[in-house]
Amino acid sequence: MAINLPPGANELGRLKLWSDIIATWVTIAGVFSGSIFAVLQYVDRASAERVRETLQYVEKYNEGSLLQARTRLENFWNPRAEEIFAKQRQGERALYVYLDAEIRRNRLEGDVSLLNAFFDNLRTCTCANLCDLATVERFFGKDASDLNGLLFPYAAEQRKRLNDASIGASLELLAKSRKSGFARAYCASGR
């Protein structure tokens, strides 16, 4: 028994087949586009969250005990600038001994330890990808360079005295990284 198809039925079948194929590809493209959009949204939110976390460190750094510690250290350094430069001209050892003795004599060890602990925590946050590397460099890079220039001699004496290479290491690394390709160097060195 033969079924007679109406004229053009063969053409309708072909159009339906093509519309099914096109609909399938449009659906696949839509799912793919939606997936890409979702991934981009996730990456954008994750990046924004890292920046927000870093900005919380900026707040901590500019208030409370950290601000007081930095203020005390600045008040200590500023009137002694000429003396510090004179010791620096006498050589590294003279500067190290002078700064170590002055920090201890003025009872600033707690302030130095507080700042070192802050920079240790900041590095941990950054290297764990919880804080944003570029924001860390932007907000803390210059201060780290300045602080390290003044605190490194004390840290070096403490490292030697206590046989602990980690003292002041995060501050030093942030200061050095800023000069030599920040992103590569800051987290590359193990703790």
107 occurs within a structural domain: yes
What residues make up the domain containing 96? 51-186
CB atoms under 10 Å from CB of 93, counted, come to 10
Helices (H) and strands (E) in the chain, counts: 8, 0
185 has a pLDDT exceeding 70:
no
80 occurs within a structural domain: yes
153 occurs within a structural domain: yes
21 occurs within a structural domain: no
19 occurs within a structural domain: no
Query: Using only C-alpha atoms, what is the Rg of the chain?
Result: 31
79 occurs within a structural domain: yes
12 occurs within a structural domain: no
pLDDT tens by residue, 20-34: 777 677 667 666 666
pTM (global) more than 0.75: no
- The burial of 172, by beta-carbon neighbours within 10 Å (0-12 exposed, 13-18 middle, 19 or more buried), is given as buried
CA distance 82 to 71: 19
121 occurs within a structural domain: yes
pLDDT tens by residue, 84-140: 889 889 998 888 888 889 998 999 999 999 999 999 999 999 888 899 888 888 889
Both tokens of 31, joined, read 């799912």
How many domains does the structure of the chain reveal?
Answer: 1
